[in-house]
């Protein structure tokens, strides 16, 4: 290898400069070189764009070679990928317009060649939990192209550190990825987030189960600089995206509203409307604990008399303090108007 090539490929993987003629070079040697190149691509040491350096390792006919075995009878459906965005040959950004199947799966010439007796078929980059390729290497194949602003925080994110694979959520060889579909997206999230699935089934919840919301309206699964992979910097900013009327500014502000919506509300679902952590007056009495009205603790005993306590009926505290999120009325210091 020349000094120029040694500088170009710091990975240390040896790319032979001699011309390999299939049937002349020993098949096992070709397989070894192909496997080395595949590992280099998977590790991110050699990009798909540098494939010309290993020309002899790629198939001559691309996807046509793969489809000889991976046809409509193959256990994993392949053909639908040609109807997806990845399979659009007219878009220069797609894998199919470049090295086709080998853009993602690495050099496949040795893999497509029937091995001699005693030798195993050369491996390519495969995806999924059962793959021998590490999660970081698998995901790197996707990140090579999907490196836009929506994925900038992937490195170090909760999903990345937990070794979540791109293919754990995304399905590639289909016409339309189910996780991008409004109706089916939540099913992919529920595979791991079972607690949140239960919360969405509660009496008062955001309408995810009615297909009127999706998880990605609030969360960025590819990483975020906010808490809980939120798309905004704070919980309140996320809530204000829909609940703009609660943003203010107010002349008289209710402190918990400005600090954190989660002080009073559950984010996914609750047994108390509207998404409250506790029903009033119990919720209010967590903070308002001084003796005397309006903060004396009320119990169910107040309902036994002939004149039931108004602070326990209907909206309880909200019977009087109607502007609980804040008020702009000059006399609204008690959030009553």
Quote the percentage of the chain above a pLDDT of 90.
51
Q: How big, in percent rounded to 5, are the helix, strand and coil portions of the chain?
A: 35, 5, 60
Query: 281 falls in which pLDDT band (50, 70, 90)?
Result: confident
Which own/partner contact pairs does 154-160 have at CB distance under 8 Å and 24+ positions apart?
Answer: 154/222, 154/223, 155/223, 156/223, 157/222, 157/223, 157/224, 157/229, 158/223, 158/229, 159/221, 159/222, 159/223, 159/229, 160/223
Amino acid 154: pLDDT: 93
User: For 34-58, how does the pLDDT look when each residue is reduced to its tens digit (9 = 90+)?
Assistant: 455 555 444 444 445 444 445 578 9
Given a cut of 80, whether residue 179 has pLDDT beyond it is yes
Every domain of the chain and the residues it spans: 3-127, 252-261+273-327
Q: Are 39 and 47 in contact (CB under 8 A)?
A: no
Amino acid 300: pLDDT: 59
Best-predicted range by mean pLDDT (46-55, 200-209, 313-322): 200-209
Amino acid 74: pLDDT: 84
Q: Which residues contact 92 (CB under 8 A, 6 or more apart)?
A: 98
Among 19-28, 179-188, 196-205, 310-319, whose mean pLDDT is lowest?
19-28
Mean pLDDT of all residues in 136-141: 93
What's the mean per-residue pLDDT of the chain? 81
Q: Which of 80, 37, 270 is nearest to 176 (CA)?
A: 80
- Scored b (16 or more CB within 10 A) or e, 157-190 reads bebbeeebbbbbbbbbbeeebebeeeeebbebbb
């Amino acid at each position: 290898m020349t000094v120029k090539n040694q500088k170009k490929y710091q990975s240390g993987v040896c790319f032979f400069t001699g011309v390999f003629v299939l049937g002349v070079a020993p098949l096992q040697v070709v397989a070894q070189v192909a496997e080395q190149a595949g590992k280099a691509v998977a590790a991110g040491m050699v990009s798909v764009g540098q494939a010309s350096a290993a020309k002899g390792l790629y198939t001559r006919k691309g996807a046509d070679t793969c489809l000889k075995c991976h046809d409509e009878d193959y256990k994993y459906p392949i053909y639908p990928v040609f109807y997806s965005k990845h399979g659009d040959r007219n878009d220069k950004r797609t894998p199919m317009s470049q090295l086709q199947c080998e853009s993602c799966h690495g050099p496949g010439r040795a893999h497509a060649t029937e091995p001699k007796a005693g030798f195993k078929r050369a491996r390519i980059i495969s995806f999924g939990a059962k793959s021998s390729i590490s999660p970081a290497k698998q995901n790197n194949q996707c990140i090579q192209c999907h490196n836009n602003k929506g994925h900038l925080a992937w490195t170090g994110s909760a999903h990345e550190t937990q070794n979540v694979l791109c293919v754990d959520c995304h399905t590639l060889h289909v016409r339309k990825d189910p996780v991008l579909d409004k109706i089916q997206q939540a099913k992919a999230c529920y595979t791991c987030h079972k607690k949140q699935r239960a919360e969405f089934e509660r009496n008062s919840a955001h309408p995810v189960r009615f297909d009127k919301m999706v998880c990605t309206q609030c969360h960025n699964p590819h990483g975020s600089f906010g808490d809980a992979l939120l798309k905004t910097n704070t919980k309140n900013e996320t809530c204000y995206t829909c609940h703009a009327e609660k943003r203010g500014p107010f002349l008289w502000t209710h402190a918990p509203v400005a600090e954190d919506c989660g002080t009073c509300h559950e984010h996914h679902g609750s047994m108390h409307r509207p998404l409250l952590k506790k029903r009033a007056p119990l919720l209010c009495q967590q903070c308002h604990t001084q003796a005397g009205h309006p903060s004396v603790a009320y119990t169910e005993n107040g309902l036994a008399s002939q004149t039931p306590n108004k602070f326990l009926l209907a909206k309880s505290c909200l019977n009087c303090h109607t502007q609980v999120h804040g008020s702009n009325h000059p006399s609204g210091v008690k959030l009553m108007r």
